Amino acid sequence: ATANIGVVGLAVMGSNLARNLASREGNTVAVFNRTWSKTETLITEHPEAGFVASEEIDDFVASLQQPRTAIIMVKAGAGTDAVINELADRFEPGDIIVDGGNALFTDTIRREKALRERGLNFVGAGISGGEEGALLGPSIMPGGSAQAWETLGPILKSIAAVAEGEPCVTHIGTDGAGHFVKMIHNGIEYADMQLIAEAYDLIRRGTGKSPAEIAEVFAEWNRGELESYLIEITAEVLRQVDAETGKPLVDVILDQAGAKGTGAWTVKSALDLGIPVSGIAEAVFARSLSSKPAQRAAASDLPGPAEAWTVDDADAFIEDVRKALFASKIVAYSQGFDEIVAGAEEYGWDIHKGEVAKIWRGGCIIRAQFLNRITDAYAADPGLVALLTAPYFRDALTESQEAWRRVVVAAAQAGIPSPAFSSSLAYYDGLRADRLPAALVQGQRDFFGAHTYQRVDKDGIFHTLWSGDRTEIETDGPSH
């Protein structure tokens, strides 16, 4: 046994992660893939990595020093279960199996429990940053036991991205906590991308600027409080010219957005937990809507606004859109962290929100300056009930909200869809409202289903005898 770490699954992510591991001092990396040709390609192309390659899984397991530690990077789902079982049958108590794929956190909870019962450590680790991140330094969100983290921590710290001198990895919590937080990361990523897309669309249609000109707007924004990887790459995409047609690339890309499902997971889980992640949900739905060509064609002759829309002062409008984007982004993160809090409570995880924001500052897709403000907010008040009410965000929203309203009004009047901007604003207004029409909903529920209600002026649970003389009675029945 010569290797201190192994990687199973040598498609793009696994190969890059294996190379990243091999490039760090002190690591000898064993590699294995179901199909040998992929392993062969990797070791031939990267002799410098000094990989210990095996054609058979038995040899791979034998090449690992104890406690054996192997990271699985295979397609999430059945492939992951297959590989886990093959390793588990050969591993011994104390050994560590890490799933670095995009597993659903409930699968991770199930797998961890099953392997724990066999004396094995199972760590579901969310890894963000795509191919480049895997090679140069991703943001890593490991769950699993504290015992496994002791062995694994130093290895993961050595390959993670570094932000402001700190590695972008921390032990998130037990069993599925890491994959849960990775899921939320992806949900926020969906919202962030949709908000940027809406900003681009409004600026383009409101001011008539070309994609290349709008690229300059984003490049400028990237020097301010919106500074982030997604804003940076948006400018790059908008600048790109299609070699074949000479048109902006964005104009020749089919406008139907794909999805691999992690955004939908975030929303499904939020629905189960009762957390309103409306900005994230709108972002997921916006992709679904875009990918319905038959419905879009059928609806394409439905009427829009009678009057054409023009913006009088382009610079002022662009600044309004910037503020609307920042405010909506604060809402998306606030909602995402609400879901983390609710998930931690439901599944019994001790998740440090400030640490989560810290490890997202580098390596991952939503990396941004802004995340420091989230860390600061939770450091100042660990019991913060809503991120958007922390002083920095409160000030930003105060500063932005009028512009945000102007943008949402303009979009509605112009007939330009801005689901994430407008739902985020509705969320903001919903949270800050003195009174919500939920009171009427409670009245309706009591009317048709005797679901009862509570009163603002005294304790107790009440029901109005709607089909009788409509007097109110106090009940000991269920509230809500």
CB of 131 to ligand NBP, least distance (A): 6
Phi/psi of residue 248, nearest 5 degrees: -60, 135
Using CB under 6 A as the binding rule, whether residue 7 contacts ligand NBP is answered as no
Q: Which is nearer to ligand NBP, 29 or 74 (CB)?
A: 74
Give the residue, chosen from 5, 7, 13, 226, that forms a contact with ligand NBP under the rule CB under 6 A: 13
Q: For helices 278-290 and 314-347, what crossing angle results, to 10°?
A: 110
The rounded distance, in Å, linking the Cα atoms of 357 and 139 is: 11
In the range 101-160, which residues lie near ligand NBP by CB under 6 A?
A: 101-102, 127, 130-131
Burial class (CB in 10 A: 0-12, 13-18, 19+), 354: middle
Q: Which is nearer to ligand NBP, 36 or 453 (CB)?
A: 36
Q: Which two tokens stand for residue 5?
A: 């770490």
Give the residue, chosen from 14, 124, 178, 343, that forms a contact with ligand NBP under the rule CB under 6 A: 14
Residues in the chain, total:
480
Residue 296 annotated as lining a ligand binding site: no
Q: Which DSSP state fits 68?
A: P
Question: Quick one: which of 137, 71, 64 has its CA closest to 101?
Answer: 71
Among 29-37, 145-153, 246-254, 289-297, the segment contacting ligand NBP (CB under 6 A): 29-37
Site for ligand NBP (CB under 6 A): how many residues? 22
Residue 171 annotated as lining a ligand binding site: no
Q: Which is nearer to ligand NBP, 51 or 421 (CB)?
A: 51
Residue 190 annotated as lining a ligand binding site: yes
Residue 76 annotated as lining a ligand binding site: yes
Partnered with residue 124 across adjacent β-strands are 99
CB of 178 to ligand NBP, least distance (A): 12
Binding letters toward ligand NBP, positions 380-419, x by CB under 6 A: ----------------------------------------
Binding letters toward ligand NBP, positions 55-94, x by CB under 6 A: ------------------xxxx--x--xx-----------
Give the residue, chosen from 25, 35, 243, 478, that forms a contact with ligand NBP under the rule CB under 6 A: 35
What region does 67 belong to: left with phi over 0, alpha with psi -120 to 50, or beta? beta
Catalytic residue list contains 247:
no
Question: Quick one: which of 168, 165, 148, 149 has its CA closest to 157?
Answer: 168
Residue that the structure tokens 């309103």 belong to: 276
Question: Quick one: which of 395, 470, 445, 356 has its CA closest to 225?
Answer: 395
Residues 6+ apart with CB under 8 A from 150: none
Q: Which is nearer to ligand NBP, 130 or 443 (CB)?
A: 130
Q: Which is nearer to ligand NBP, 323 or 361 (CB)?
A: 361
Q: Which DSSP state fits 65?
A: P
Give the residue, chosen from 38, 268, 445, 451, that forms a contact with ligand NBP under the rule CB under 6 A: 38
Residues 6+ apart with CB under 8 A from 186: 102, 128, 262, 263, 265, 266
Of 182, 329, 353, 358, which residue is the catalytic one?
Answer: 182
Q: For helices 419-432 and 314-347, what crossing angle results, to 10°?
A: 60
Residue 193 annotated as lining a ligand binding site: no
Of 189, 198, 339, 355, which residue is the catalytic one?
Answer: 189
| Sheet bearing 121-128, strands edge to edge | 52-53, 29-32, 5-8, 69-72, 96-99, 121-128, 139-142
Q: Which is nearer to ligand NBP, 182 or 358 (CB)?
A: 182
CB of 182 to ligand NBP, least distance (A): 8
CB of 261 to ligand NBP, least distance (A): 9
What region does 159 belong to: left with phi over 0, alpha with psi -120 to 50, or beta? alpha
Element (H, E) at 166: strand 166-167
CB of 12 to ligand NBP, least distance (A): 4
Residue 362 annotated as lining a ligand binding site: no
Residue 451 annotated as lining a ligand binding site: yes
Catalytic residue list contains 458:
no
Q: From the centroid of its chain, how far is CA 91?
A: 33
Catalytic residues: 182, 189
> Which residue positions form the known binding site?
9-14, 33-35, 74-76, 102, 128-130, 185-186, 190, 260, 287, 445, 451
Residues that bind ligand NBP (CB under 6 A): 9-14, 33-35, 38, 73-76, 79, 82-83, 101-102, 127, 130-131
> Which residue positions form the known binding site for substrate?
102, 128-130, 185-186, 190, 260, 287, 445, 451
> Which residue positions form the known binding site for NADP(+)?
9-14, 33-35, 74-76, 102
